[in-house]
Amino acid sequence: MKGGAVAASMAAAPALNNWAFAKKIEKLEKEGWTKHPVACTMCGAFCGLLAMRKDGEPLSEHSVRIFPNPGHPQQGYCGRSAAAMWVWNHPLRLRKPLKRVGEKGAGQFEEVTWDEALNDIAARLKDIVQKNGASSVVSTSHSFSGYSKWLTFPLGSPNNIGHQSSCNAGGIAGRNLVFGKGFDGAGKMEPDYANLRYLILIGRSMGASMGALHTLNQARANGAKVVSIDPRMPDIAYGDADWVAIRPGTDGAFVASLINEMITQGTADLSFIEKHTNGAYLIKEDGQPLTQSDICSNGSKSMYVVMDSKGNISFRGLKKNEKGIVVGFDEDPAFKADLNAGSTVKLADGTSIPVKSAFVLVKEKMAEYTPEKTSEITGIPAGTIRRIAKEFADFKGVIDDGWYSSKNGTDVQLYQLISIANAINGNIDAKGGLVVTAGAGLKVPSVSAGKGPNGETWKMAPEKRIDKIVYPDAAGTFKVALEAAATGKPYPVKAAFFVGTTMFHREANSQKLADHLKKLELCVVQDVLPQEIVDYADYVLPATYFLERKDISGVKWALDGSIYLSDPQLTPPKDCDARHDVWILLEILRRAFPERAERVGYKECKTAEEFNQYFNAFAQRGYDKLVADCEKAVPGWGKQICEDMATKGWSTIKPKVYDVYPYKKPFGTPSGKAEIYSFKSLSNPACSKAVSPITGYVPAPAYTAPKPNSNEFVLVSGKNCQTCSGLNMFTEPTRYLGDRTVWINPEDAARLGIKNHEIVEIEGIDTKAKGRAAVTVTKKVIPGAVFAFGFSGGVRTKNLLDPNYQFVKEGINSHWFATGYAQPFFGNVANNCSVRINKVRG
């Protein structure tokens, strides 16, 4: 077959909403199957699925079938969710509590009863807390930090620290610089996937969240174009998305160049920039914004100064109510500020100083990045950069604000630039742009630091969350806690609880991770499968997974504010003693400190049913309140929500309203505008040291740069649509669908005399670690870089891997070679690294 040439022509819109499976579901229902909505966590995307269950038949892989939930705002289903039932009774599933009997790391265990395990853990926890204080106990998770906190917070420890440093912390920090607090978190700002016309994906594979991809497909069916900027070709480019190869870590230059092109070609949205960004705000020579207080003696420090082309000035700031809450802008809407202002202003003390608009500073900074120079840095032809810049402006496109962003140790600057580029294109919160998603407003009573779900309060340990001491703006940099286990600094950590997180596939620098894990006095792992981390655990506790528990929550990542019910009503297979993660944690807490368990109203629950009653009541309370509020607001609405939940498993509460931020309501930045020149960076010396108000390209500080045209490469990783998640890595279909090879470009392979499928040795340039893997010689990776999927093999669990599942050991885990470098102040870790590829002799 000839490779399909991409026709840019608009497609005859295929019918997207006549889901074939909807018919099938109806049919099954008629045949006595019942339908149960599920929020999928086969990966971290929480898509909407349906579990169809044949009633009256014993629970098995055959009597439960997984389907997409038709019409769900994040309609799911992919290779991983399809394999959900392959996990349920997986031959390797953890079935009984295990107690370590050998050395730490040796992976020798004996089965113990729940009582033995919980009592012993509780006794050791109590001892540790009495000797070192509550803050020496830490917990972490990926998708279940809402669970892991049920131990640490009621115990009094602030240290429930998430996975963000190796996931989205860079994106959060970058958005924070441009859009501010409240607009930086996961899913808060998203491309309007359904309605966009042109999407640039930078290091975003879309091989993840099927919900988002499904939504995007509506836009693609209407002719939207997708461009992927990535060192390797992601699967979406098999279709009609364009792949533009870029050298790893050089994305900053690419985005800077887009901005430069738009400014120099006059395609930047100047009116948006003038009105809705801080582009017109005057900046002093020291980089600080000029404020009213500089000019008038009693002026406000938070009123900024703009100037028109005639030299008249005006102030812009935020309107606050009596409680100090921001309610709108304080500015003269008729004033037309000059974006290119650059002159002198007279200060209150009579002196004159030169000032420039923020836009001019941005323009000057970006001017370096001509397409030609950028081409040298990035490897993208200058013509392609020009073309993308033009299309981006012509179609009023959007650059995806990313998800997994922990790559090169310069990710904060990159996502700052990406956010700025979207603002320069004036495509913020508009239909088809980068928009603020609507929340559903569901509040489920839960535990937080010092506060219980029923209004209880208590005093927390006096220490600050440990990662925040080292990285003040950390969204969650768990490695600080493990370093503290080894060094005792900034304060000692003795016990760690790992609730549903692989750690070895999550965190960079495996050797350090292993060393630090061994230093823990108490290490507890709650999981479903024998991930490598179990070998370092004192206790491995079998947990239930998403098909075995109930949940009500807000739909994640979606445009509209919706809520979902996840209630598949499965129980673990017969001989599997798995329990709910929160039960495990609360039972440990109760056995150690019964009075602290009571801080969250927890008393002993012997059976799973008892516990579910206790725990599910919180979600029910939140839900009931939401329903009651809605019913009060519009009679009949509450009833509608209940009906939706009962029939579909989801309900949309707040449809997205476009064109609000920052047109009518301010962003969370100091100026309330989209800040193309970050004032936050200037507000704190540590922050300004870590990141400037506007930055261009910074070479990756996280790893030694490989020598060009040698056997040295940057190793990048990512995920795909079929496999690549902690749970899915072990399922049978992964044997075939999983790619456990290292990709290398044919040019590089030829130079090194490496053939397709040959086994090579991979050696970390910085960590010296070594591993072996088969190579795939492919044009799908740029010369000078090699690629390996994350969560795809390289599992080194010693004794719990069945001979039939040795395939999970094949290949490498890129973290063996990564340094674990974290960006100062923000704490986001770099997972990319540099390696040597050596031929294996013999």
Q: State the residues that interact with other proteins by CB under 8 A.
A: 1-7, 9, 11-12, 14-16, 19-21, 23-24, 27, 61-62, 65, 67-68, 75-79, 81-83, 85-86, 91, 206-207, 210, 213-214, 217, 220-221, 233, 235-240, 720-723, 732-733, 735-737, 756-757, 778-780, 807
Phi-psi region of 105 (alpha: psi -120 to 50; beta: other; left: phi over 0): left
Tokens of 795: 């599992």
Q: Report the residue closest to Mo ion, judged by CB.
A: 167
Measured from the CB atom, the residue of 583 and 593 that comes closer to ligand MGD is 583
Cα dihedral 705, 711, 715, 721, rounded to 10, equals: 150
Q: Which does 251 bind (CB under 5 to 8 A by kind): Mo ion, ligand MGD, other proteins, none?
A: ligand MGD
Q: How far, in Å, CA of 247 to CA of 834, rounded?
A: 13
H or E stretch at 390: helix 382-394
Which of 725, 745, 776, 797 is in the footprint of ligand MGD by CB under 6 A?
A: 725
Binding mask 295-334 for ligand MGD (x = CB under 6 A): ----------------------------------------
Q: Which does 167 bind (CB under 5 to 8 A by kind): other proteins, Mo ion, ligand SF4, none?
A: Mo ion
Q: Which does 54 bind (CB under 5 to 8 A by kind): ligand MGD, Mo ion, other proteins, none?
A: none
Which of 77, 593, 618, 789 is in the footprint of ligand SF4 by CB under 6 A?
A: 77
Residue-wise DSSP of 63-127: TEEEEE-TT-TTB---HHHHTHHHHHT-TT---S-EEE-SSTTT--EEE--HHHHHHHHHHHHHH
Give the shortest CB-745-to-other proteins separation in angstroms: 11
State yes or no: residue 719 binds ligand MGD (CB under 6 A): yes
Contact positions with ligand MGD (CB under 6 A) in 677-716: 716
Give the shortest CB-159-to-ligand MGD separation in angstroms: 17
Q: How far, in Å, CA of 624 to CA of 766, rounded?
A: 54
Largest CA distance in the chain: 87
Give the shortest CB-404-to-Mo ion separation in angstroms: 5
Q: How far, in Å, CA of 638 to CA of 653, rounded?
A: 10
Nearest CA-CA partner of 309 in 271, 289, 276, 337: 337
Q: List Cβ neighbours of 239 (8 Å cut-off, separation of 6 or more).
A: none
Q: Which does 778 bind (CB under 5 to 8 A by kind): other proteins, ligand SF4, ligand MGD, none?
A: other proteins
- The arrangement of strands across the sheet holding 650-654 comes to 551-554, 561-566, 650-654
Q: Which does 757 bind (CB under 5 to 8 A by kind): Mo ion, other proteins, ligand MGD, none?
A: other proteins
The size of the interface with ligand MGD (CB under 6 A), counted in residues, is 64
State yes or no: residue 234 binds ligand SF4 (CB under 6 A): no
**Amino acid (one-letter) located at 602:** Y
Dihedral sign for Cα 729, 735, 738, 739, please.
positive
Give the shortest CB-723-to-ligand MGD separation in angstroms: 6
**Amino acid (one-letter) located at 76:** G
Which of 25, 38, 47, 822 is in the footprint of ligand SF4 by CB under 6 A?
A: 47
Local structure of 819: helix, strand or coil: coil
Give the shortest CB-230-to-ligand MGD separation in angstroms: 5
Residue-wise DSSP of 773-798: EEEEE-TTB-TTEEEEESSSS-----
Which of 25, 28, 38, 43 is in the footprint of ligand SF4 by CB under 6 A?
A: 43
Which of 70, 158, 203, 622 is in the footprint of ligand MGD by CB under 6 A?
A: 203
Give the shortest CB-732-to-other proteins separation in angstroms: 5
Give the shortest CB-144-to-ligand SF4 separation in angstroms: 14
Which of 157, 209, 228, 427 is in the footprint of ligand SF4 by CB under 6 A?
A: 209
Helix %, strand %, coil % for the chain, to 5?
Answer: 35, 20, 45
Give the shortest CB-733-to-other proteins separation in angstroms: 5
Give the shortest CB-221-to-other proteins separation in angstroms: 7
State yes or no: residue 85 binds ligand SF4 (CB under 6 A): no
**By CB under 6 A, which span of 41-49, 372-380, 594-602, 641-649 interacts with ligand SF4?**
41-49
Beta pairing, strands 64-68 & 98-100: unpaired
Give the shortest CB-386-to-ligand SF4 separation in angstroms: 33
State yes or no: residue 46 binds ligand SF4 (CB under 6 A): yes
Which of 492, 726, 738, 793 is in the footprint of ligand MGD by CB under 6 A?
A: 726
DSSP 813: -
* Structure-token match 């009060």, residue found: 632
> What pairs with residue 37 in β-bridges?
50
**Amino acid (one-letter) located at 450:** G
CB 542 within 8 A of CB 113: no
State yes or no: residue 237 binds ligand SF4 (CB under 6 A): no
CB 30 within 8 A of CB 23: no
Instruction: Centre a 10 Å sphere on the Cβ of residue 646 and count the other Cβ atoms it contains.
Output: 11
State yes or no: residue 80 binds ligand SF4 (CB under 6 A): yes
Give the shortest CB-84-to-other proteins separation in angstroms: 10
Which of 45, 137, 206, 474 is in the footprint of ligand SF4 by CB under 6 A?
A: 45
Phi-psi region of 38 (alpha: psi -120 to 50; beta: other; left: phi over 0): beta
Which of 28, 78, 389, 781 is in the footprint of ligand SF4 by CB under 6 A?
A: 78
CB 255 within 8 A of CB 368: no
H or E stretch at 319: strand 313-320
Q: Which does 762 bind (CB under 5 to 8 A by kind): ligand SF4, other proteins, Mo ion, none?
A: none
Nearest CA-CA partner of 571 in 540, 606, 601, 609: 609
Measured from the CB atom, the residue of 97 and 672 that comes closer to ligand MGD is 97
Which of 403, 661, 679, 713 is in the footprint of ligand MGD by CB under 6 A?
A: 403
Q: CB-side exposure of 300: number of CA atoms within 13 Å?
A: 13
State yes or no: residue 75 binds ligand MGD (CB under 6 A): no
Measured from the CB atom, the residue of 315 and 545 that comes closer to ligand MGD is 545
**Amino acid (one-letter) located at 561:** G
Binding site for ligand MGD (CB under 6 A): 41, 43-45, 142-144, 163, 166-168, 202-209, 229-232, 234, 246, 248-249, 251, 402-404, 407-408, 499-502, 505-506, 526-529, 531, 543, 545-546, 581, 716-720, 724-727, 787, 790-791, 814-815, 831-832
Binding site for ligand SF4 (CB under 6 A): 40, 42-43, 45-47, 76-78, 80-81, 208-211
